Amino acid sequence: MAEGSDTSLTAGIKSFAGEHGGAKAVIEYVGKKGARIVLVGDDGEWSDQFAGSTDVARKACDAAGVEVENEWERELMEQMRPSNDLWRSMSRRSMAR
């Protein structure tokens, strides 16, 4: 997403939903950086996008025709399929004590 470009954010969300048979979104506030939009496709694939604020994120999802969930529901989490690359990258991380 280009910084400050709501149209490219909407286009990215719409593109993801189209490629994955539809999608649902969860918007997470990340402080001064704005908001993270986690998109979960109907096929289980997922991705994320960043917006300047939660309001911008919600408007972009609405404009793209993607339903926004209020929180992480169990059914939505069970639908997600992490890629093998993600599992490999998580296995290399060490916990800080």
Reported confidence tier of residue 43, pLDDT bands at 50, 70, 90: confident
* pLDDT tens track for 3-38: 445 789 999 999 999 999 999 999 999 998 899 998
Alpha carbons 26 and 23: distance in angstroms, whole number:
10
Q: Cα–Cα distance between 6 and 60 in angstroms, integer? A: 7
Q: Which of 74, 62, 16 has the alpha carbon at shortest distance from 40?
A: 16
57-87 per-residue burial string, b: 16 or more CB within 10 A, e: under 16 = bbebbeebebeeeeeeeeebeebeeeeeeee
Amino acid at 41: G
pLDDT of residue 66: 95
pLDDT at 1 over 50: no
Listed residue (44, 48, 47, 49) closest to 80, CA to CA: 44
pTM: 0.73
Average pLDDT, the chain: 80
For β-strands 67-69 and 23-29, DSSP reports them as parallel
pLDDT > 90: percent of the chain: 44
